[in-house]
Amino acid sequence: MMLNKLNIYSCIVFFFLIPLQKEKHSYQNYYANNYSTIKHVVTVQHPGEKAPTKVVLTQVKNAAGITIEYFMDVQSVICLENVCKVIPVRMYWNAIGEYQRYTLQKGATLEKYEADVFAPKDYDKLHTILKNKKSPFKEVYIEDVLTVKNELSDNIDAISGATALDLAEEDTVPGAALTCFTLWHWANGEIISIAQQITASTATDAQLLAFINKKNTTYYTLALAELSKRKLYKNNFINAIFKNLKETQKEVKPTINYLEGSPKNTYLKTIKKLFINGNLAQKIAALKSIKNTTHNIKPKYLDSISAYAGKLKTYQEIAALLQMLESKNYFSEKTADHLIPLLNANFITARRVYWFLQDKNLTKNQKSVITNFKQLHKNKL
């Protein structure tokens, strides 16, 4: 869900927190006085709710204006039958929407089926469940979990006492499957992308540059997407991108998307640099980008790309280069000179080059090489 579709309203509040309780999962004084919060009213769709819900997601920034985390108050269970004991739960995410922890109000306790309360170990287990992005709760529906044993009974938590849902013991808190389901989807649902978009959109240009330099791929992806929105293609960003591409295994698609949005001259310069200096995946992605670009590319540029044919080490790279040239309907004497040495490569690669060159307008010497190759491999072509 994109941020600009969320109807987000923001206000900045500076605050002081008072320690409420020392228990591990209780509200605590996590922030110093110079931290600030920004409250965002966002609309999310929890899979347990019939309709989208408006919630308040609070962004926490330090004195330097850097987002450090988010928190949001939610209900412990989604109770469709009005027979549940609902407890407020405060949930926390880091700056890129990864669940971190949860807290309860002072004196509050979570309950299980038939009013049985959580044991201390159950709180830790719930935290472990919420941290598990591959939890079985990701694939189930609330109807699979919600079973009201007796609507007339008092203190029923309607949380999987007699549910037909079959979960391994380590995947749920026995008797509290609905609580686990409800909180897991809050922890791992749409809030993740919302938090990410807020973090990126409220970051300064300097902070986005710092994001690029982080090892975390999510920060890198968010930074490039936000820089694209702001149409920022300055050298400091470009240099940081290529430095990190060389040092780390960052995903290539965000890089390609960013470069493709840049002005023509910047694009042609940087995509060529990626092709020349990149790894296998980056070289192929760069060639595919050149193949698909709508920019008008001069013959000299395409010749300069084909000049690196001899340095390509795999069939995949050679095939991508030839496909790019074919899509541009481009051929020159220089291109042939760059490709002909590859006829001495492994046969699969050499054959692909032969097929590309065989019907081209070659020089006399180039035709001679092609003819010799054809005669040598006539039973394989």
End position of a domain, from candidates 227, 261, 296: 296
- Strand ranges (E), 258-346: none
Residue whose C-alpha is closest to residue 71's, from 103, 46, 48: 103
Residue 12 lies in a domain: yes
Alpha carbons 132 and 124: distance in angstroms, whole number: 13
Residue 303 lies in a domain: no
> Is 188 found in the same domain as 133?
yes
Q: Could you report the per-residue pLDDT of 6-27, keeping only the tens digit for each? A: 443 343 333 333 233 334 565 5
CB of 358 within 8 A of CB of 345? no
Alpha carbons 360 and 233: distance in angstroms, whole number: 39
End position of a domain, from candidates 192, 221, 243: 192
> Is 218 found in the same domain as 140?
no
Q: What is the maximum span of the chain, computed from C-alpha positions, in angstroms?
A: 95
Residue 286 lies in a domain: yes
> Is 161 found in the same domain as 283?
no
Alpha carbons 289 and 315: distance in angstroms, whole number: 18
Residue 309 lies in a domain: no
> Is 14 found in the same domain as 74?
yes
Alpha carbons 308 and 303: distance in angstroms, whole number: 9
> Is 242 found in the same domain as 113?
no
Computed over its alpha carbons, how large is the radius of gyration of the chain? 29
Dihedral pair phi/psi, residue 108, rounded to 5°: -80, 145
> Is 218 found in the same domain as 161?
no
> Is 144 found in the same domain as 29?
yes
> Is 106 found in the same domain as 36?
yes
Low-confidence spans in the chain with pLDDT less than 50: 1-23, 148-162
End position of a domain, from candidates 192, 219, 242: 192
Residue whose C-alpha is closest to residue 215's, from 245, 240, 253, 248: 248
Residue 314 lies in a domain: no
Residue 312 lies in a domain: no
- Residue 218: CB partners within 8 Å, gap ≥ 6? 96, 196
> Is 283 found in the same domain as 329?
no
Domain of 379 in residue numbering reads as: 319-381
The structure tokens listed for 159 are 């949380």
Residues paired with residue 70 on neighbouring β-strands, in sequence order: 59, 93
Q: Say how many domains are in the chain.
A: 3
> Is 184 found in the same domain as 42?
yes
- Confidence (pLDDT) at 82: 60
Residue 266 lies in a domain: yes
> Model-level pTM?
0.83
CB of 312 within 8 A of CB of 353? no
- Confidence (pLDDT) at 170: 87
